[in-house]
Amino acid sequence: MACHGPQGNSQIPATPSLAGQPKLFLENQLVLIREGLRDIPQMKGLLDGMKDPEIVALAGYFAAQKPVAASTGPVDPTKWQRGQQLAGKMLCGSCHLPDYAGREQIPRLAGQHEVFLLQSMKEFRDRPGPGRDTIMAASLYGLKDEQLADLAHYLAYFR
């Protein structure tokens, strides 16, 4: 909770909120991190030796928490509209659901920190690797930084 915030609602712009994420998504990510298949330097060692039932319980706790929108500053209407159009064109809601709440192994995007969303999308586009979703890497391939910034702004302020 020091990094992911009270009840999993991050107060750190580069750190994802875990509150309200799909339980299966959280379980999978925790196992990938524990097994060293996802390299998250800040998480190194924290999950070492954690048993599967503990991971299931941890994922269940965060999945049951109410997500609080991370972005509270002013919305840039131009960026928001461009992001909305791009998300529609790319059919982001077909996997992440129309409300971007996520499902099963697909994360909630709505209300995450804009900084985190942009950083994550750049990683998918630029450095796909072990533990990373290949469908997302392919979906973001060829998008410009400005387009990713528009998508991040839109999703961060999606209500």
Is 92 annotated as belonging to a binding site?
yes
Mean of pLDDT values over 139-153: 97
Q: What is the pLDDT of residue 44?
A: 84
Q: What is the pLDDT of residue 95?
A: 96
The answer to whether residues 104 and 56 belong to one domain is: no
**Rounded to whole angstroms, how far apart are CA atoms 20 and 109?**
10
More confident residue, 39 or 9: 9
Number of domains in the chain: 2
The answer to whether residues 10 and 47 belong to one domain is: yes
Is 1 annotated as belonging to a binding site?
no
**Type of residue numbered 80:** W
131 pLDDT band, cuts 50/70/90, is low
Least confident of 3-7, 109-113, 124-128: 124-128
**Rounded to whole angstroms, how far apart are CA atoms 142 and 22?**
28
Tokens of 31: 């196992």
Tokens of 49: 């030796």
Mean of pLDDT values over 23-44: 91
Is 96 annotated as belonging to a binding site?
yes
Q: What is the pLDDT of residue 2?
A: 85
Tokens of 136: 């997302």
Where residue 24 sits, what CATH number does that domain have? Answer: 1.10.760.10
Query: Which domain covers residue 43, as residue numbers?
Result: 6-64
Is 113 annotated as belonging to a binding site?
no
Is residue 114 one of the residues assigned to a domain?
yes
Is residue 45 one of the residues assigned to a domain?
yes
**Rounded to whole angstroms, how far apart are CA atoms 98 and 81?**
16
Is 153 annotated as belonging to a binding site?
no
Mean of pLDDT values over 52-56: 97
Is 3 annotated as belonging to a binding site?
yes
Is residue 121 one of the residues assigned to a domain?
yes
Is residue 70 one of the residues assigned to a domain?
no
Is residue 72 one of the residues assigned to a domain?
no
Residue 76 per-residue DSSP state: -
